Structure 1
Amino acid sequence: MSGEKLSPGIISPVRRIGRREFDFERQVAIMAIVNRTPNSFHDQGRTFELDHAVAAAVKAVDDGADWVDIGGFAFSAAQAHIGVAEEIDRVSPVIARVRAATDAVISVDTHRPEVARAAIEAGADVINDTNGLREPGVAEVAAQTGASVVVTHSLGGPGRRVLRPSYDDVVAEVADYLRERVSHALKAGIGADKIIIDPGHDLNKNTFHSLELTRRLEEITAIGYPTLVALSNKDFIGETLDRPQGERKEGTIAANVISILKGARILRVHDVAATVASVRMTEAVLGWRGPVAPSHNLA
């Protein structure tokens, strides 16, 4: 099937990340979220216990996730500070056990170089940094280890409060920031084929900002690097639909499909099975994959 090419010019579209290969010209990767924190905004600590975190990661892969994102420190400013050692103690054991159980991509959601290095030693393939590689040393860890990186936009970074965030043009400012941080990554020695970008929906942004980012996402994907979107169950979906935290699945799926059509190629999600079905259907309609069980009965 020839299919429709929606995002021309992706830098190194065919990539081996960890033990898996992706063709981002015609494939969408699904990243499952596993937060080993007591205060994650959606899971509310359900995967804080080590065994629960490992089980959730393995189940996500069984449900079709290509990738598992493991974090030990939430983005929200409404949390107690934890030290580097405690963050390592939260993420490294999960990563090691998940690595032993699956060939799926594993990323560590951290902005600290010491945590990133420990996570990679435990088996992680990717550093998912919501601080945009601003912490001294984190880009160097990625360059030295050969890890891929997700470069994300935020104004304040994890654990830092930003009151009433404002932008003259949120999409243009996010795009400029991502270009600058990508340049920083390249200068630090990270290969272009290791870089992924994320506009950071709801990270120091209000509902109108996140809707505008989604509406004009092609201006972000045009930067050229595979684009990750982390929309799952976020407040901009809840406020748009007037839905509480547990009732945002349909809104999440709609926003994710729109993002795919505008060039997103990695979706960070809580509801893996529902996302897999919606993504595979979207890929089939676009001509990127065939039906799994087509009927040849023409009667």
Structure 2
Amino acid sequence: MANVQNLDPTASPLDYYGWELRRHREAAGLKQGQLGEIIFCTGSLIGQIETTKKVPTRDFSERVDAALGTDGLFSRLVGLVLRSQLPSWFQPYAAMEAKATYISTYQAQLVYGLLQTEEYARAVLATGAPDDLDGLVAASLERQRILEREQPPLACVVVDEATLLRPIGGRDVMRRQLARLLEFTRHRWMHIQVLPNSAGEHASLAGSFNLLRFDDDPDIVYTEDVISGHMTASPEIVREAALRYAHLQAAALSVEESAALIARVMEERYGDRSQPEERTVA
């Protein structure tokens, strides 16, 4: 096991977190097992986090703050730690998304990341065979915290009907994911529409894209390919994306019709649990 005293706290947010956890634990005169008993985890987990073998969660950090009286230090640090676990190419977008006051997104394949359940996110992220799936899932869920603000960004989401029909994670996972979407339809700052298959050809057959707007910064368009993401503030591209998004919204079902379709798919496609699930792997 790596000696945490040899870690460079400036190497990464995760190294700094582990270094600070060890320093504050020892200052409190506690062994790893003793701290683990206080915050209801194993001493081994404490050691793994101190040596950067495990990524801390927000819940863990809040319990450490309460146990060690660190005035929210670890609750603040964990946000930086989790963001650093996102793919390096995605981190700039996540930082801009966290600053946005208005988000417009069209999703052709998957539920938008900010709206994913933990189970759905895990199934999606597992397809990339990451080295630390737990850490990546925790980072993905941390990204959703912007929706918990007193004034969250206004969000318009257009999802392709195919997204509702693709059984990511299996039937039960999809049922809970669609139920989550229905919960969001009741939020005044969230506007969810479904682009039905009957729409045929549409303004974004090329794929998904996000449009971010800010109070003081230029608008940004974000797209992804197989291995990376791309952001641009080019006025011409932003205008084209805004026009295409307007066409998508016009072709999509109304908010009320979309909620009804989501509910119907949830019950008719994923509601019958009497039959065993059939999973296929590409």
Pairwise TM-score range, normalised by the shorter structure: under 0.3
Tell which structure's C-alpha radius of gyration is larger. Answer: 2
Q: TM-score w.r.t. structure 2 length?
A: 0.24
Name which structure has the greater RCO, CA cutoff 8 Å, separation 6+.
1
Bigger helix fraction: 2
TM-score by length of 1: 0.23
